Amino acid sequence: MKTKILNTVNQHTEPASIAARSGRLNSSSVWRAAVLHSSRIFERCVPEPQPNISVLLLLDASASRLGAQETIASQAYMISESLRLCRIPVEVDAFRTFRGFTVFQVLKSYREENSRGVFRYFSAGWNRDGLAMKAAEIRLKDSETSSRFLLVLTDANPNDSEPLQPSSGRPFPMDYSGSAGIAETARAVKNLKAGGVRISAVFLGEDSEVRNAEKIYSDGFVRIHKTDEISKAVGKLLQDNIALLS
């Protein structure tokens, strides 16, 4: 994965060639020396800076992931270390909801030098995706890069025992599930995009939830069927997003 990301970065930060008085001889410019008395018949490479990007990996840690905790942690560790070795700032977070409280757990912050904290990942409770997106928005502000990527592991099935509270346009509480949970999460995603965040999702869920993923993430997601495919999917999403920067 590290190699693929580096290759993508290098493809979109190729060094520029400029005319110079020393360097590699440019045969097509030799005539300039005799006709124009110009000494700029050489080429010199000026490296472009590395893309100014950061990545936040957000993991659904609800009870639906109980049977795959170790694999998810291992895959997230692989992703985090690959990005770190590419000198791309990366944070890994997880979210789950207990008794009306959504716990947003920072497993590895942007500033940490290693990714061992990712193995503290565990699954329990519900998943209030919309609220997790709002918390991620706060964490993204810790990144000082110009391009911020949010990659989400999701089953596209926001669900919580605590209802949505009354608000303008909604005079009564509403169960946080089905269309209500999907709509709230989609709004949170839309707000993040409006703030310049590039959001993509790795969808690991049932056939019946594919439509949910489309409503929340539009075409910005890839579907996988096994947890050991997470790192491959994330690598593909990163490559596609980095390519769009050029």
- Give the span between the Cα atoms of 133 and 237, in whole angstroms: 19
Are residues 59 and 42 both part of a single domain? no
The answer to whether residue 199 is domain-embedded is yes
State mean pLDDT over 120-131: 97
Same domain (yes/no): 29, 66: no
Mean pLDDT of the chain: 88
52/149 Cα distance (integer angstroms):
11
CB-based contacts of 155: which residues, under 8 Å, 6+ apart?
Answer: 60, 64, 127, 203, 204, 205, 206, 209
Q: Is residue 5 part of a domain?
A: no
87 and 190 together in one domain: yes
Tell whether 3 is covered by a domain.
Answer: no
Q: What is the pLDDT of residue 196?
A: 95
What is the pLDDT confidence band of residue 246, given thresholds at 50, 70 and 90? Answer: low
In terms of domains, do 40 and 114 share one?
Answer: no
CA 207-159-69 angle, 5° bins: 75
**Of 182, 215, 221, nearest to 198 (Cα)?**
221
Rounded to 5°, the CA angle 47-51-52 comes to 125
Euclidean distance between CA atoms 30 and 180, whole angstroms: 70
**Is residue 81 domain-shared with residue 16, that is, in the same domain?**
no
> According to the model, what pLDDT value does residue 230 have?
97
Same domain assignment for residues 214 and 232: yes
Looking at the fold, whether 19 and 103 belong to one and the same domain comes out as: no
The CATH number of the domain where 226 resides is what? 3.40.50.410
Quote the crossing angle between the two packed helices 178-194 and 210-217, to the nearest 10°: 30
Q: Do 39 and 67 belong to one domain?
A: no
Which pLDDT score, from 0 to 100, does residue 166 have?
82
Q: 236 with 204, same domain? A: yes
Q: Are residues 102 and 134 in the same domain?
A: yes
Q: pLDDT tens, 182-209? A: 999 999 999 999 999 999 999 999 999 9
> Across the strands, what pairs with 147?
53
Any domain includes 217: yes
CA 2/CA 52 separation, integer angstroms: 17
pTM of the model: 0.83
> What is the domain extent for residue 98?
53-245
Q: Across residues 16-36, what is the average pLDDT? A: 70
User: Per the domain annotation, does 197 fall within a domain?
Assistant: yes
114 with 180, same domain? yes
Could you tell me if residue 62 is inside a domain?
yes
How many whole angstroms separate alpha carbon 71 and alpha carbon 78?
A: 11
The mean-pLDDT minimum among 5-14, 85-94, 172-181 falls in 5-14
Tokens 């560790």, residue located: 77
- How many structural domains is the chain composed of? 2
Per-residue pLDDT tens digits for 97-114 = 998 899 999 999 999 999
Q: Are 41 and 22 spatial neighbours (Cβ–Cβ below 8 Å)?
A: no
Q: pLDDT per residue over 35-83, tens digit each?
A: 676 776 677 765 555 568 999 999 999 999 999 999 999 999 999 999 9
CA atoms of 53 and 177, how far apart (whole Å): 34
> What does the alpha-carbon distance between residue 219 and residue 203 come to, in Å, rounded to a whole number?
11
Give the relative orientation of helices 178-194 and 129-140 as an angle to the nearest 10 degrees: 20
State the DSSP string of 109-158: -TT-S--GGGGG----SBB-HHHHHHHHHHHHTT--SSEEEEEEEE-S--
Residue 4 falls inside a structural domain: no
What's residue 125's pLDDT?
96
Same domain for 40 and 72?
no
Residue 1 lies in a domain: no
